[in-house]
Structure 1
Amino acid sequence: MSSDHKARWIQGISLVFFLGLSFSSFFLVHKVAHGRSQESFQVLVDQSLTSLDRRFEDYSRLLDGLNGLVIASDGITALEMSNYAKALNLSDSMLMLDAIGLASMAPQESGLHGHSVAFSAGVGQLESMPSMLQADHFIVQFIEPPTNLQKFLELDFASNPDLLAIAKKARDTGQTFVTGHSPDLVPQIGGTRMFMLKPIYKPQKGDFIGFAFAVLNVEDFFNGLTSAQGKMIEIQAEFNALTAIDRIKTLPATPIDTSDYSRRQSIEKFGQTFSIAFKSTPQFDAIQPFRARWIVLALGLLITTLVSTILRVLIKKSHTIAITIAQKTRDLETQDKEKRSILENAMLAILSVNKSGEILQANEAALKLLLPLTKHMRLVGKSLGDLLPNLDLQGVDGWSKLHVTSSIKTAEPLIIEVEKKTWFTAEGEERTTLLMRDITVTERHAKEIAEAEQRWNLALRSVQIGVFDIDLQRGTSVVSDTWFDNMHTVALPNCKNPYQEQMVRMHMDDLALFKKAERDCIEGRTERAEVRFRINVANDEWRWIKSDAVVVERAPDGTALRMLGIQTDVTETFKLERMKRDFVATVSHELRTPLTSIKGALGLLQGQSQIEKNQITDRLIEIALSNSDRLASLVDDILDMEKMNSGNLNVEVSSFSLNEILSDASQQIETYASQWNVGVEMLKPEVEQMISTDKKRVIQVLTNLLSNACKFAHSETTVRLTAEVLPTHIKISVRNLGPGIPEEFRNKIFQPFSQADNSNARQRGGTGLGLSISRTLIELMGGTIGFESEPDQETVFWFTCPLTETSEILAVA
């Protein structure tokens, strides 16, 4: 058997031994403690039974005294009975006695409730009239104390069969008997009572005279037997229903409940059997030594655990020592091979030299690095100073960088990174280990990157574009020098997120807009975060900054990881734009007034010319009015565009009739359509619809779309205006047959001042503002706008308007 198996056998046997000892001690202590507790409980039971027996004997002696009083007296009076009761001190609560009294047989001529024969007649007088008494009727003559029990007077024992049976048995046997519990013998008194009856006989002849009796309250009789009752022990009593003495047996004491300390004892006293249950109280249970066995068991288990742990540690330690010895032996055998394998396969060049600089060992990487620098075929045994003359072996340990020029003219100069580490052998001889890495290419690339970065910085600085790179995971950012210039700030020391610092100096009115644009881009709702904001540079001087950022890296779940962007100072540009807007607004407003006057004057001239019927003048006036209308329309478009740019283009949305809007728009465009030799057809919905819109603005959009459709439709074709009822919107479409929209122009058709670059479009005129203004108006009114077009076929421009609630209900129905 191996030593390991032997140690495990010893551990198992020890564990079984200590566990057995622990549980044996547990059961032994439990048995001893339980036995002592049973003995203590039995003492309480014995004390209670002894006290109960003494209480019965006291009552019996009390009745003996009353019997002697009757026999010794010629006649008992109520006063003598009262004095006797006072002498006994019946009111003492320790007696647990309600009353004592005398009962005699009833005379025949007096009926059941007569008083012609009483104890007051004396014993001598009763000798001459035994034939006058009724043998089965016993009447209570005296009872003391009479308080609360006065109703017992004149009680006939024959009124209760059990009481009468016990009385006759006592009379016939001459023994003292106790009746069973008799509830409500006298209903007016209440409660449960029992009687102790002692027969009284004549001294010489032995003739029966009556009974001396005691009235016992069943509820109080079994209380106060010992001082421990109610504290340490509880007592309950039951009466045996049998009354015949020869059928009563005393039962042995047996446990009634195994969960606590209890006994049931049946005893016979004065012809009655009492079944008495004794049970411990929680107070008694609490003081028993129940915890001792658990303490012993816990200590035994603890000792077992400690012994087992000690044995396991010793076994494990022995096993570890054996494994360590075996492992060390294998390590010593393979250490040299492992060292050589590491040295030979290392990517770094490794040299080991002595104090004089002689190379003692070199790996494969060192041969590849250093052999091109010398004419020799091997390195071991050569002087390191011949290969690396700039290396100081006597200097401090650490990293250094060497520029090496080979003795061979064809070899390229190298840049080598060297780490020097000095150590000592077991004999105290100094050794030096050198780790070397060729960083020539790395240094060249780093130089190129630095030069490229410098060129980029110069380029960014020339155009004043600040670049930032944000790591959203780590909460850090990197910014360019021009970013600091544009933000009119400097880099703070140890600041990991300079991009975040701009928030502190940002204008409060722009901060929420900036954060929203950035959040929408990060969460993927928009592709770019484009926003302009003001920043405080110094002395309450505010500069306008334009920021444009995109998310360039996201996690697989869509979480943004990295954001790149640029920021430029657009303060001057912003000022120029504002000057341009102010100039356009001023010019437009200044043109509106003279145009109105010109149109009015031309209208008057047209009316006068029609009266004079001068065709040449009519034509000139018509041309002037047409150009005035075009110029007025241009001014209105410019003003609307200015309102769009400034954010002041408003709409007043209300509920209007769709058919009415379509009719008004088609009527306004009829004259214009006739100029291009096209017709206008309107198709109204069969059911009247109410739309939520700005009537003036939606007619402006319709006339713009209709005029474009007429202008670019083929001659002698029809422009159709239709409306389609959707669940929550109305889709209004304008259709024409014409050349269509060129493919290269479709992506910018809604941009301001946009026109298709062909001769046909240029000839038909226009400012290129109508569609841009129309899109803005439709979106402000809660709709969308779009188009479908095919070359030389039908072109459709459409937009939607929300239905009012009433129209939605009708449409669903």
Structure 2
Amino acid sequence: MGQFAGGKLQTLAVLLALLTTAVVSLYFRDIENENALKDFEVLATEGTDALDARLHQYMVGLEGLGGLFDVTGTPDRKTVETYVASLQLDELLPGINGIGFIEYVPADQLDRFLDESAQLGIEDIRVYPPSDRDVRFVIKYIEPYVGNEEALGLDISFEEGRRTAALAARDTGLPHLTPRILLVQDDSKTPGFLLLRPYYAPDAEIETVEQRRAAFKGWVYAPFIGARTLENLTPSQNQAYSFSVYDGEATEPDMLIFDSSAGEQTAHTSFFTTQSQLEIYGRTWTIKWESLPEFEAAKRSNGYIFVMVFGLLLTGLLYALLQNLSQRQKTVEQIVRRKTLDLEAQKIQNESILNNPLLAIMITDAHGKILRRNDASNQILEIGHDYVPNLLTVVPELTGMEGGTRTRLEFQGKDSVKILSVKKNDWTTPHGEKRSTYFLRDITIAEATSAAAINAEKRLDLALQASEIGVFEIDLATGESIVSDMWMHIMNVPDCTKDFDAQAYFEACVDPDDYRMLQANDSACIQGKEERTTTEFRVHLDNGTRWMRSDAFVSSRDANGRALKLVGTQIDITASREMDRVKNEFIATVSHELRTPITAVKGAIGLLKASPDLSLPAPSARLLDIAQTNVDRLTELVNDILDLERVQAGHMRLEYKDIAVNTLLRDAREQILPIAKTANIDVDIQPADNDPVLPMDRSRMLQIMANLLSNACKFAPAGTTIQVGAETVGSQVRIYVRDAGPGVPKSFVPSLFKPFSQADNSDTREKSGTGLGLCIAREIIERMSGQIGYRKTDDNMTEFWVSLTMPESFSSEKQALRLVQ
């Protein structure tokens, strides 16, 4: 019975010990979870504060741009670009897309707005989308421009959320944030926002809604993408916790702005969660915080399990608990230190924004004593950091300057005279003390640069007039163009009105036979196949037919590579062409006169060699062979000279027929095979896919192919193979001849297609030739609106190629080719 009672007591003791252990372990578990929750809420508060601080940083940047507008009135585009660049957005304002200005434009003043924008250097602005509203809210400035091109000219009133936030900011005088929107410049189509700060006329009364509307000018604004703004708020983000942000008071999925856990491979049910709301610039953002396994692992332990299993090891459990508490304390201290460093960094960032090196800001009392100033003030006025002077003593010209006015003055520095732009604002402290704020900007370099630019433009105009070079610029997207006075002079343009259509006039004057070649050359440049387009062509003017040479290039392309502008020069080369004509006529006359004696000599030699009764000694027969060879070379030279003269004078008529390219290749091979076999060289055809058919002069194309193939036979090593083939590249058919020869020296390539040009001009050269074959080939192929060229292939083969345009491409090219100015 006693044993039974003892067993009951032991069992009761064991049960009590187990119960006590369980209660204690559960109690500690609850305490642990409660402390961890507090730590987690500290992290959440830290993240909320960091987000609030980041948005207020954006507002500091907008305040700075508003100050710039106060100082400059209406700054030009370059000034705004320089100011925004000085803010170092990526480093000091992370997440922001840019900073700009939205102007409040009545619909009946839209033309005035566009003219004023052009004068300020904003030439590429266009207002969109179309609207029938009485007032437009147009983005006039946005910097940096790269990446924000689509925003420039946008009327933000087209969308209800943007318009409501903008009007609320105007009427309240307070910054406002738009609802969740999609930025037009954001290709990722993720949620974004506009932060709008109203801007009123300086010194205007804005106490009432009516006064604010009367003084209203527009909004200084900053576009930002929610995901970028919410990234990397604190070091604990995505390490200790994840969070999601919603636009509004509820966590509706369609109002989600950002979810830091998006894209995670594994799902996780968070042990700690908390939710808060942030009231920021007229909007309510709901933030939901969720712990991550790393945080939970650091804050939770399995000590209570060990207490339940090993009740007698309570001391060890307490020791482990104390260690855990110590570690938790260290974690909290680290968080506090990181937060302190973040706050100090934010303070430094704010100071760097206020100390803009381009704008000096000083606050003085009623007597001109400087109470506060930024570093730019010390630099512009050349005063020491520790020296506290009277502003009116340093710059006496400011004495008597009234508040709300702007002035320009010359300031004598230590080494030179500076030109300053000064704006003064007067105000009173809550204690009735009068204060003045001065904004100073050094405009010395800006004025000097403007004067230098004007002088340079005058010198350039004089140089162009003296050299009789006409200049044109074409906007290929809109068709708008600009031509110089000299262009109009050399084109004999009569006195005309501002509606003069230069393109129509040019097309009416260009000789029809030259227009197709002009189109093909310009098309190759516009499509990016050639770096420049250079063409000589005839124009028929009131004072006769003149020869012109145009040289142009594409000066700008969009992100997709589409040509936007074509810029070039045009000169009158009639006199030069006339000199060439006289020279060619002389050469042709001499060549014609040589033909008769050459024919006689050649016939006499032929009779001597064919005479059966004439027996000559071996030396004499050798001399007769040498004479025969040189007469043949002289005949070839005369024929080449006459061909060149005919094609350059326009007397060579081309008979176009539809010819299959692969048939042309086979005929060219058959034509050259005897020469190739003599040189122990094989000729291989590489036919074009689909065998394209082109309009061409067959005999002249075979003449070109014979020239290229005979050159290849001369220079290709014996036992090798010459490749003759064709391929289709876009709208072009490219015919090529490749051989394993040494190729053309780089120094000789620019002269390759000039008359009488040979890489080896010495009397002892091994390969004979007139030096006219490639020149004649180029002249003929250009008359066919084609191109000819040379290159070394990737496998070190020597390649000469001819490129011709397929007929169906001509009609499409003609629409975008040339608006010559």
TM-score class, shorter: 0.3 to 0.5
TM value normalised by structure 2? 0.40
Greater Rg by CA: 1
TM value normalised by structure 1? 0.41
Larger RCO (alpha carbons 8 Å, 6+ apart): 2
